[in-house]
Structure 1
Amino acid sequence: MFRKMKWSKALIVAAALVLLAACSTPPSEKPSEASNKPTPEASQNSDADLPEVKLTWYFPGSFPQADQELVFAEVNKKLKEKINATVDFKPLGFGEYDQKMQVVIASGAPYDIAFTSNWINIYSQNVAKGAFLPLDDLLAQYAPKSFAAVPQSFWDAARVKGKIYGFVNEQIAARTPAVVVSKEEAEKYKLDIPAISGKLTPDTLPLLEPYLQNVRKDFPQKGFVTSLVQLDGLFFNLEPIAGIQIPGAVDFSDPTLKVVNQYETEGVKKYAALMREWNAKGYLNSSERISKKADDGTEVKAGKVAVGIGGSYKPGGEVELSAEVGYERLQLPSGTAHLTTGGIIATMQAINRNSKNPERALMLLELINTDKEIYNLLNFGIQDKHFKLDADGFMVKEGDASQAYNPNVPWMFATNFLAYVEKGKSKTVWEETKQVNKDAAPSQLLGFTFDAEPVKAEIGKVSALFDEYSRAIDLGVSTEAKYNEFLAKQKVAGSDKIIAEMQKQIDAWKAAK
């Protein structure tokens, strides 16, 4: 499903140098471009007041999808009617998106909107490069309804040096990784759900081993699937400052907000050691998985997962997960839900600093965040072809999920709270989700956003090291010596400097509160 990009290291480095030159100063505005800008008044009126434009939008997901061009064409018909714009949709597989966007941004290739977060197409790094446009002066004018609907604290979480560079997709912001198992297998093999629900840590993860052993007696192809990226810092009671890939995290229970290298903590080291042990026992199917840069969901669809941990636990999540594979799955929280800056900025859109039509791009995002029909069309396809609404208003997906348009990423394009409620979920699932966000334990760093600019060179180096070593750690094929080599190379690449800069910024932020 995911295609591997074959970009060489040299090309990426060269492209990055192009970016530094291209983004050193804001682009000048040409008179012809200025004449195409809509006024705030025109943005509220009919398409007759707006010049026709074509926007380009990059985003990741389980692509390509069946019928995607048909769906995109239908979306464009409605966009043309509403705001006299069409979109060149650029969907990419999760496994290739990060690398592709590095090249797009570094080369200066034209685009208008790109999905960004703290886990893919990294927000803080791109802001440090000058890749994204500050939105503060545009949001209230061109996306007033969305700007008002999203909590102010969420917009504040997206600020870097006081400016907003990301358009927040409101969704489940309270985070704890989800533990996912087959409902039938959990009942048959007597998974002790009370013992693990909300209670998994690096110390208690071995509680899953008896269940894994029992499942594998009958299904030896099934194993345990997770990754450092999927676990994020949350599983280790840590809040990564610039994403799990970058050294630097704060323990949720530490009132001093001391920044540490998460890879030097006992919790992450225990996880790495357990993965080595479980790989030796055959639980991880590492020989099959090692050829891919990241797990792409094919293991689940092929029936090769006994237990998976990752994503984010949320109300109704098991319905979405079950629809992916055609059998019932259970979803349990791995630990305590926290409301973090990382959870808030995990799903955002950014506008290219060099976009010729940033106002129209914001109008597009406003429309998709407020027009329920267009939002659901983009997410779930064409009504009565890809899904139906039953007599009670619940959405029922049509046909085989693997053969129909079903990206299953409703948090990707806009606010998740516009989605039709799927059959099997509570009618009030979005109200419940908002309540989970409200009730989650707030991070002591809520609202702090790291400015990566002073250490962007070091971040680039340690990020490359994560790409080089993390997959082997996750699959248990990395020895303890290799893990220590990873730590040593991080120091050479500048991890201590990054952590010192994070501490400096956190201390200043804390003093200013």
Structure 2
Amino acid sequence: MLRNTRFSKTGMMATSLVMSLSLVLGACGNKNNESSGSPNASPSSSASANASSSPSGSGDAAKDLPEAKLTWYFPGNFPQPEQNKVFDEVNKIVKQKINATIDFKPIAFGDYDQKMKVVIASGENYDIAFTSNWINNYTQNVAKGAFIPLDDLLAQYAPKSYAAIPANFWDATRVNGKIYGYINYQISARTPEVSTSKALADKYGFDISSIGGKISADTMNLLEPYIQAVKKDHPEKAFITALSNIQEMFNFETISGINIPGAVYYNDDSLKVVNQFETDEFKKFAAVMRDWNAKGYMNSKERISKKQDDWADAKAGKWILNIGGAYKPGGDVLASSLGGETYVSAPASTPHLTTNGIIATMQAISRSSKNPERAMMLLELLNTDVELYNLLNFGIKDDHYAMNADGLMVAGPNQQAYNPQVPWMFASNFLAYVQEGMPKTVWEDTIKLNESAAPSKLLGFSFDAEPVKAEIGKTSAVFDEYYRGIELGVTSAEKYDEFVKKMKTAGADKIIAEMQKQIDAWKASK
């Protein structure tokens, strides 16, 4: 549930929680392989092998580079009390390795989308920004010309991390044959995570494993007895989810993000594109949320003023159960470390390996960047230097985190001063220290989950949004207007119909026709 933060997944999350909750774990492949086979070395040995490497070689080599300052925008559970203390330490390493410093621009999850729209529209000079299919939309920004192609930069300035990711993963990022997103390698086999406090589950006799793989728009009722029982004794608590975190639960894959019309059912060999907002699955989910809101499960009056739910409410004991983020090995431990109590979790449905799962966490280099080469050097460094990666994600050793006698990461004396819990935000999770309580095989387990997931029939297809970028902008605005009311159950059936009609007026049918055209051409070329 860790992430979601958007929402706990995985965007998951609440958004903050929801995103925080979705700490995505990474694994490595081999770029020279045409499929995502297991790496030859174990995750820990691969990470150690790369730990001392730097894109420019030694510190002496870095001195030959002119000094550069890079601006980096990313969302997360920010601000953190001691973030500047940590960022200063990060910059010491970056300065030594590639003679650059970073102007960090962390933005709260709920504000990031709007902030990046302003930054991009204004032509502001910046270098790197987090992008995905659920926030700061990747294909939409490529269509706008906001990002530069990375193919040549990857080969020249990020050879090690480029080679560590399977070729078919990079192919999933391609738009018109070019790569515009640098993948933060992580859990890519996607299904939402269902999670709750272990203390609550034990008190009310809820065996979360009993619902594992069974949750869909048709079976939400399996969760209701537990929610109802907790709610009776704890009216301050609520059921939490977010539309951006649960799309895989509907048995279809959205093509350009949940906020843009266009999806294909996993079991549809014809690859027919449908408007997800008109599907029975989406409408049933909206109806369940209306019913649950009428029954008082949602605490919607309190939550409607927020764009997203945050993890602070979970820590304050306001959550009954959350669906969001990506289910992953060790995810309950991550949620526990964030909230200070033990969580239990289960996969909502069957994991699928999808293009959206691959592009869910990426960095892009801005068209306005004055130092694209150095920006790519930074991405290589973040994805090959174990010390730097864990510093940025978990803070200063023996202060914000510590290592126990078994070599596992535990909370430091000052953990809450820097605990953003978004390792999937910054680089490959493969470099993260294993936390106490997680299986020591967590990275191997993550690889197995990626490899065993059912591949989407659209895996490798990447939509070019350029022909319909105006319509995408308009439909995204309609989604922004209605999504919060839908996920909180305050949108009536009539209001939902109004939402669908506005989507059509904004150009939904034209977007779907363009998606179908591109998918048909892609399918014919295979």
Q: Same fold (TM over 0.5)?
A: yes
Determine if the alignment matches structure 1 residue 293 to structure 2 residue 307.
Answer: yes
SS in 2 for 1:259: coil
SS in 2 for 1:245: coil
Within 1, Cα distance between the matches of 2:347 and 2:403? 30
Out of 48, 61, 64, the position equivalent to 2:79 is 64
Task: Write out aligned runs for 1:147-166 (5 A).
Answer: 147-166=162-181
Within 1, Cα distance between the matches of 2:205 and 2:464? 48
Within 1, Cα distance between the matches of 2:478 and 2:251? 23
Q: 1:447 to 1:199 in 2, by over 3 A?
A: same
- Structure 1 regions of 5+ residues with no counterpart? 3-39
SS in 1 for 2:523: helix
Deviations along 1:276-317, whole A, 9 cap, x unmatched?
A: 111011000101100011112232122111110000000000
Partner of 2:504: 491
Task: Write out aligned runs for 1:79-478 (5 A).
Answer: 79-232=94-247, 234-399=248-413, 401=415, 403-478=416-491
Deviates more, 1:353-362 or 1:155-164: 353-362
Within 2, Cα distance between the matches of 1:204 and 1:349? 36
Amino acid at match of 1:272: A
Within 2, Cα distance between the matches of 1:290 and 1:54? 40
Within 2, Cα distance between the matches of 1:477 and 1:249? 25
Amino acid at match of 1:440: A
Identity in percent: 66
Post-superposition offset of 1:45: 6.3
Within 1, Cα distance between the matches of 2:216 and 2:257? 19
Within 2, Cα distance between the matches of 1:44 and 1:128? 38
Amino acid at match of 2:455: P
Post-superposition offset of 1:264: 0.5
Deviations along 1:199-247, whole A, 9 cap, x unmatched?
A: 0011110111111111112211112110211112x11001000000001
Deviates more, 1:93-102 or 1:191-200: 191-200
Within 1, Cα distance between the matches of 2:92 and 2:243? 41
Deviations along 1:51-98, whole A, 9 cap, x unmatched?
A: 111100000000000210000000001111111110001000000001
Post-superposition offset of 1:138: 1.3
SS in 2 for 1:260: coil
- May I ask how many residue pairs the two structures share in their alignment? 474
Deviations along 1:482-506, whole A, 9 cap, x unmatched?
A: 0000011111110000000000000
What TM-score results when the alignment is normalised by the length of structure 1?
0.91
Deviations along 1:161-207, whole A, 9 cap, x unmatched?
A: 00000110100011000001111211221114344111001111011
Out of 68, 72, 82, the position equivalent to 1:53 is 68
SS in 2 for 1:276: helix
- Structure 2 regions of 5+ residues with no counterpart? 1-15, 18-54
Deviations along 1:412-456, whole A, 9 cap, x unmatched?
A: 110000001111111121111111111110000000000000000
Q: Check conservation: 2:399, 2:414, Cα contact below 8 A.
A: no
Partner of 1:27: none
Q: Check conservation: 1:212, 1:306, Cα contact below 8 A.
A: yes
Greater C-alpha Rg = 1
What TM-score results when the alignment is normalised by the length of structure 2?
0.88
Post-superposition offset of 1:44: 9.5
Deviates more, 1:218-227 or 1:110-119: 218-227
SS in 1 for 2:522: helix
Amino acid at match of 2:191: T
Q: 1:113 to 1:345 in 2, by over 3 A?
A: same
Within 1, Cα distance between the matches of 2:469 and 2:132? 17
Q: 1:500 to 1:78 in 2, by over 3 A?
A: same
Within 1, Cα distance between the matches of 2:433 and 2:358? 22
SS in 1 for 2:120: helix
Q: Which has the higher contact order (CA 8 A, sep 6+)?
A: 2
Q: 1:342 to 1:131 in 2, by over 3 A?
A: same
Across the aligned residues of Structure 1 and Structure 2, the Cα RMSD in angstroms comes to: 1.4
Within 2, Cα distance between the matches of 1:57 and 1:453? 25
Q: Check conservation: 2:59, 2:96, Cα contact below 8 A.
A: no
Q: 1:140 to 1:225 in 2, by over 3 A?
A: same
Post-superposition offset of 1:400: 6.5
Q: Check conservation: 1:177, 1:312, Cα contact below 8 A.
A: yes
Within 2, Cα distance between the matches of 1:142 and 1:347? 20
Amino acid at match of 2:466: E
Q: Check conservation: 1:299, 1:305, Cα contact below 8 A.
A: yes
Amino acid at match of 2:221: P
Deviates more, 1:245-254 or 1:215-224: 215-224
Q: Check conservation: 2:191, 2:249, Cα contact below 8 A.
A: yes
Amino acid at match of 2:520: D
SS in 1 for 2:85: helix
Q: 1:112 to 1:368 in 2, by over 3 A?
A: same
